[in-house]
Amino acid sequence: MVHSVRVAAPTFVHSARQDEMVTQNPTSRPKRRTQQERRAATVAKLIDATIEAISELGYHRTTIQEICERAGLSVGAMFRQFDGRLDLIVATAQEIVNRQLAMFRALLAEVDEGTDALAVALRFMRQAQNSTATVALREVFIAARSDRELHARIAPAVAGHYDAIMAEAERSGVMRRFPEHVREPLFFVVLHVFSGQAVIRPVYDRPDLEDSVLEFLYELLTTYAATVETPPK
């Protein structure tokens, strides 16, 4: 059975000293952001709006005007950060894969000796393929099939992302139970199963079937691992 693992959210403590400082300085103003901080905030708004727009409208219907409207920014503000739509979309694709890798690392960091790392990894991969960000990224992948410039711009980031995910899986020990020569193919088999599920979900939504597929994959992999593991001497 696949067990779920929840990563605890960070706790933020508001101290009495902070309240005292605010009380003593009622007219104090927040520190002004630097130009770099303002730029980062603008870029973040544009990227989040791009993810949202592409996931809802698709790649080709996502215009600069649509993105800027969702971000609450002017078209001029976008052009001060990016040379054009393609540059923004490439930056968005890079940000999506960066976020996925960061989430995977954080999740694996919570896995202890008593946790089934394989179950955790399978659940993460399924959830990641269903996220809004991955839906947007998948739309970009499909567009890159026939857009040579887009393909050339995002291919290195995608290759680096999958290499990094594999490296994290190796480092964490998730793949340790499997022979080295099958680890990468195994990863992509699982990835393609969950990606395929996400593609057909809008027209064939079967949560019960998806749960059964998850359980079947887990049983299939653990059974296979048991047949190839070397028994202790």
pLDDT in tens, 74-97: 999 999 999 999 999 999 999 999
Q: Would you say the C-alpha torsion 92, 93, 96, 102 has a positive or negative sign?
A: negative
Q: What is the DSSP string of 75-118?
A: HHHHHTT-SSHHHHHHHHHHHHHHHHHHHHHHHHHT--TTS-HH
Q: Measuring CA to CA, which residue among 196, 195, 197, 171 is closest to residue 183? A: 171
pLDDT greater than 50 at residue 28 = yes
Res 61 pLDDT > 50: yes
**Cα of 190 vs its chain's centroid, Å:** 16
Would you state the structure tokens that stand for residue 2, as one six-digit string? 């696949």
Q: CB–CB of 129/122 below 8 Å?
A: no
| CA atoms of 50 and 85, how far apart (whole Å) | 10
**What is the average pLDDT value for the chain, to the nearest integer?**
86
The pTM assigned to this predicted structure is 0.78
What is the C-alpha to C-alpha distance for residues 149 and 146, in angstroms, rounded to an integer?
A: 9
The domain segmentation of the chain, as residue ranges, is: 85-228
The CB density around residue 168, as the number of other CB atoms within 10 Å, is: 17
Interval 133-192: pLDDT, tens: 999 999 999 999 999 999 999 999 999 999 999 998 888 888 888 999 999 999 999 999
Judge contact between 125 and 22, C-beta under 8 A.
Answer: no
